[in-house]
Amino acid sequence: MKAAVCLYDGFCNFEFSVLLESLALADCQIDYIAKTLKPVRAEEGFLALGEYTWGTICAEDYDVLVLTGIGAKDDSSDWILADEELLSLIRSFDKAGKLIAAISCAPMILVNAGIMKERRYVASVDRECFMAGGACTSVELSAGQMKGLLDMKEQKKHPELHGYVQDGNVITANGWWFREWAMAVCKALQLPFYPKSFGLETEEAEEE
């Protein structure tokens, strides 16, 4: 089992921390990939270093692509939403039928990559931010492009989702539900997951 985990300036560590720990416990090989091999600073302030660049890895070599949210204090990381190397990598994983796991605002990168047109998904955003005149300056998305989105307002109407949605080979989640998202990703990869280790009480935990 092999995972490609994207790093970029402002990446939110806590949102994929449970997933990374679970992958490590399952002896999954985790490769950290980035735009360049220069250090990037996490939302939490520490520096991280990618091992490979987005343009040099092959989707066929991996089982899952992981993208966490972006928590930069300004819009300095918005370029990630429109980076063609990253968008191309996402498309290649989708074309190969590989699992793609994105949390918080990262599902919007998948939208801009063009792979979410017929999929339902959640994200920790308000759709207005990405429409004309919205707060996001690097990309503008139409209502049609976001037709499958359940944004922060709409998610309140669907408590049964528990903050995440799986549609085909794509699993997306609200950042608050990072534990449930990690569990869903591990389940999709047929890897063990230990809910009680992360303070998670679910029906799945009772079955463990």
Structural domains of the chain, with CATH: 2-207 (3.40.50.880)
Least confident of 56-60, 86-90, 127-131: 127-131
Q: What is the pLDDT of residues 152-188, one digit of tens each?
A: 787 777 777 777 999 999 999 999 999 999 999 999 9
- For 127, list phi and psi in degrees, rounded to 5: -60, -30
Residue 46 tokens read as 């520490």
Residue 110 scores a pLDDT above 80: yes
Integer Cα distance of 49 and 41 in angstroms: 9
pTM for the structure as a whole = 0.92
Average model confidence (pLDDT) across the chain: 90
Instruction: State what percent of residues in the chain have pLDDT above 70.
Output: 93
List pLDDT tens digits, range 64-107.
999 999 975 655 567 788 899 999 999 999 999 999 999 999 99
Alpha-carbon gap, residue 59 to 98, rounded angstroms:
7
R_g of the chain computed on alpha carbons: 16
Residue 112: what are its φ and ψ, rounded to 5°?
A: -70, -20
